[in-house]
Amino acid sequence: MSYSLDLRERVVSYIKQGGKISEATQIFQVSRITIHR
């Protein structure tokens, strides 16, 4: 299953703005592995 472009952009933006990956996994309900892809 692929995630929407909107969701991917929001996750990347969150992390680029200083958000932690562990926080992003909870906020956006995606796994750490998904974020690293």
If you search the block for the tokens 């995606």, which residue do you land on?
30
pTM of the model: 0.83
Q: Which amino acid is at 23?
A: E
For residue 1, what pLDDT is reported? 65
Residues spanned by the domain of 18: 5-36
For residue 2, what pLDDT is reported? 85
Query: In angstroms, how far is the first alpha carbon of the chain from the final one?
Result: 13
11 has pLDDT over 90 = yes
Query: What are the pLDDT digits (tens) for 18-34?
Result: 999 999 999 999 999 98
11 and 28 in contact (C-beta within 8 Å)? yes
For residue 37, what pLDDT is reported? 80
* Overall domain count for the chain: 1
For residue 6, what pLDDT is reported? 97
Q: Which stretches of 1-37 are assigned E, i.e. beta strand?
A: none
